[in-house]
Each structure stands twice: as structure tokens, then as C-alpha cells.
Chain A
Amino acid sequence: MRLRQGQFSFLPDLTDDDIRVQAQYAIDNGWAVSVEYTDDPHPRNSYWEMWGHPMFDNRDAAAAVYEVNECRKQHGSKYIRVLAFDATHGWESIRMSFIVNRPAEEPGFRVVRQEGEGRQIRYTIESYAVREPEGARYA
């Protein structure tokens, strides 16, 4: 099951050139681009591992593409996303986020049912991937 999170996730995978254009858009708006990766694709997992620092004073998106490719070399079998952080007063948050790398196999999510008091049912989802210990997922 293809993970749909952030921008462009219903489009085909972005090429390096697409990534460069999008990152350049962010830079031209004054947002800092950063790269993050994870092997836990749960939608509520908002804190992915940072790949280096946010690139606050880069003027060209080639650096972002360079870092994405460096990250792919080491974490090519995990999810990698590119973020654009807006530091202006009042925003101070993420303005863009899109996935640029996925595992070859995405096993998807299952529904977990928990029976509570009075036959009440609580539902949650769990990625099949996280049944494996960290580091062994998507191997």
C-alpha cells in the first residue's frame, strides 16, 4: 500500500529535478529546507530522524538534492521526506513536506481492535512494518 502523506503523494515518485524545483520554491520564499528519514510510517509519527541540520543559509536547491541523495545512500530502504520550515514570526512551522524516497515494499497498515468495558470497541491502526524491531524493517 502506497503511503499517502504530505504533498504530491498521489503523484508518481518525484525525480531529482522535481525535488530541486520544489526545494527552490521553498528557498525563494525564505524557508529552510531539511531532510528527514524514518522507518515508522505511522501518520501520527511526526518526529522523523533528522538528516543533518535544516539548511538555513543555502541559496540554491542543489544542496537539498545533494543531501537527499546522500541520505538515500545510507537509508535508501526507508522513507525520506523533504521539509520546508518557515521561521517568520507567527508561522514558525513547517510549510511544505513531501516524501522523496520509499521502501521497495510497503506492507501497509492493519486495524487493531481493542475490546473495552461494556463491549466497547476501540480502533487504531498499526503498520505491519513496525512488527519488526527498529533497523530490521523494510530490510
Chain B
Amino acid sequence: MNAETQVVTPKTVDLAASFEESGVAEVLRELDEALVGLAPVKQRIRETAALLLVDRARRQLGLATETPTLHMSFTGNPGTGKTTVALRIADLLHRLGYVRKGHLVTVTRDDLVGQYIGHTAPKTKEVLKKAMGGVLFIDEAYYLYRPENERDYGQEAIEILLQVMENNRDDLVVVLAGYADRMDRFFASNPGFRSRIAHHIEFPDYSDGELGRISETMLAEQNYVFDEGGKRAMTEYIGKRRAQPHFANARSIRNALDRARLRQANRLFETSSGPLDATALSTITEADIRASRVFLGGLDVDRAQDERA
């Protein structure tokens, strides 16, 4: 009898062991390797993981705890890795046992808000049900609230969200994401959200060096490499692109690389006469990058020329 009760509530727990065994260590390691930069974000995730591990250990010892509030908000400029991190968080929470399935459901205003009276509630509930057991990621969450139109149905979606975030805390974790300034305004006009979200994580912009490394990782994933000149051109490209409008951090880099691949393919078609080896097929050269209109001053220059023509 005595032995039995001891099995149920052990006297001590080994945090390091449960850290390894739960697979959290692995997720954090992957996070470190897969994501360049984002030091403050990684720090916050590590802290959150520590809190959850300790919480779980306390529960094993029979110390009463309420499920911690896990809803989060990610603020940062476009292309800073908010969705990617949300995926990792879902995995992390799943391994710690705070969500049962660990899938990520990504939605925007359109998926939550209906078009006519009575349409919003079922739509929002449907999405919430889909996300149960996982993480609901609401991108550009501030669009839910439109103060300029008092009959906007977004408010209804917000109310249902808040209710489910409060009552079904064990069933799903909600992550709100968006640009910092607009999210601040959103939270200011919806105090209910701010108080129900425990973790506010800021995503900083990437530095030029980090974007350079990201571009190399992205190419490596698709079995491409820069040659020396290509790398230099890319560094210069990043510096110039940042100063131009609609700069979206890693997303801009991805788009630039996609276009570079297109130009590389064209170049190979036009210039090559003999057989090509694997190196030629997978090398991005200086010319592929330099042909970008970013070096000519960006989109606006093109438009100006169009108008003159």
C-alpha cells in the first residue's frame, strides 16, 4: 500500500532527465540550428520551456497547480519568422503534454469573420474546433477589430475567441501575430486580450549578416550554392533592398533567390552549348543577382519609366 502511494507521487524529480526525455532538448536544439538570429525569441522560448518543465515536475510531486496560461502574441515585422516559430512552439507544447496533438492551424480574419449576421459565430467556432488539441495561429490579428465600423462582425469573433481562450485553456493555445505598432493598438482597444495572453514575444529584424546566412541556408536547402561573386552581390543586394519599400526580411530574401534561380536557368539556356555538370546547374553567380532591379533603384524606378513611355 505504502509502496503504491510512493509510485503515484515520487519524492524527487530529476529536471535534467525529464528535459532530455521529454524531447524538449531536441526541439530547442533544432530551433537553435534551424533559425538564424532571433536571440531574444529563443531566450523567451527557453524560459517558457523551463517554466513548463518545472510546472510538470510540480504536478508529478502532487503540488497543486493550475494549467499555466499559454496564449502568446508574436509581434514583429513581416518575414521575421513568426509562423516558423509558431510551428516549433506547437511541437514543443505537444512534447511537454500541454496540447494533445501539436498541429498548427493558421488563420486570418477571413477564416473567422463571416459576411452576414449570424455567420460569424459558427465560422469562428468551426475554426476553434479544428484547432483544439493544437495551436491556433491568428495572423495579422488586429484586422479582427475595426473600430471605424461599429457594425463590423470582428467584435463577435473576438468575443467567442476570448470565451474559448478562457474556458478551454486545456484544449488549445492561441497565438496572435502581427506588426508591433498595430498589435499594440489592438491590445489597447481590447484589454481582455492583453490580460489573457501571458507571453508577449517580440521578433527583431534580422541584421544584414543574418540575412546573408539565411540566404545561404535557403539555397542549401534546395541544393544551390553561391560562388564568390554571387555571395558578394547578395550582401550588397541585402543592404540595398533594406532601404527600399516593402522590405520583408527573410521573405524578401526568399523571393530574391527564387528570381535568381529563374535568371540562372535562363542564363544556362542561352549561354551553354555543351553538356552541363552538377556544379554549373547549382551555382548562382554574380550576374544572376546583379540583374535584379534592386540595383537600379527598385520598383519605383520601373514605374517611373513606364509612365514616361
A→B interface (CB under 8 Å) = 52, 55, 57-63, 66-67
Contact = CB atoms under 8 A, between A and B. Distances in A.
A67 B122 CA distance: 11
B291 to A, nearest CB: 44
A11 to B, nearest CB: 24
A62 B167 CA distance: 12
Given A63-B128, A67-B129, 14 more contacts: A55-B129, A58-B129, A59-B134, A60-B100, A60-B101, A60-B134, A60-B171, A62-B168, A62-B170, A62-B171, A62-B172, A63-B129, A63-B130, A66-B129
A12 B134 CA distance: 31
Q: Which secondary structure dominates chain B's binding surface? A: loop
Contacts of A52: 122
Contacts of B122: 52
Interface of B: 100-101, 103, 122, 128-130, 132-134, 168, 170-172
Contacts of A59: 101, 103, 130, 133-134
A62 B133 contact: yes
B53 to A, nearest CB: 23
B14 to A, nearest CB: 30
29 contacts: A52-B122, A55-B129, A57-B130, A58-B130, A58-B132, A59-B101, A59-B103, A59-B130, A59-B133, A59-B134, A60-B100, A60-B101, A60-B133, A60-B134, A60-B171, A61-B133, A62-B100, A62-B132, A62-B133, A62-B168, A62-B170, A63-B128, A63-B129, A63-B132, A66-B129, A66-B132, A66-B168, A66-B171, A67-B129
A62 B164 CA distance: 12
Contacts of B132: 58, 60, 62-63, 66
A59 B170 CA distance: 15
Contacts of A63: 128-130, 132
Contacts of A61: 133
A132 B132 CA distance: 40
Nearest first, the 6 A-B pairs at minimum CB distance are A60-B133, A63-B129, A62-B171, A62-B132, A60-B132, A63-B132
A59 B104 CA distance: 11
Contacts of B100: 60, 62
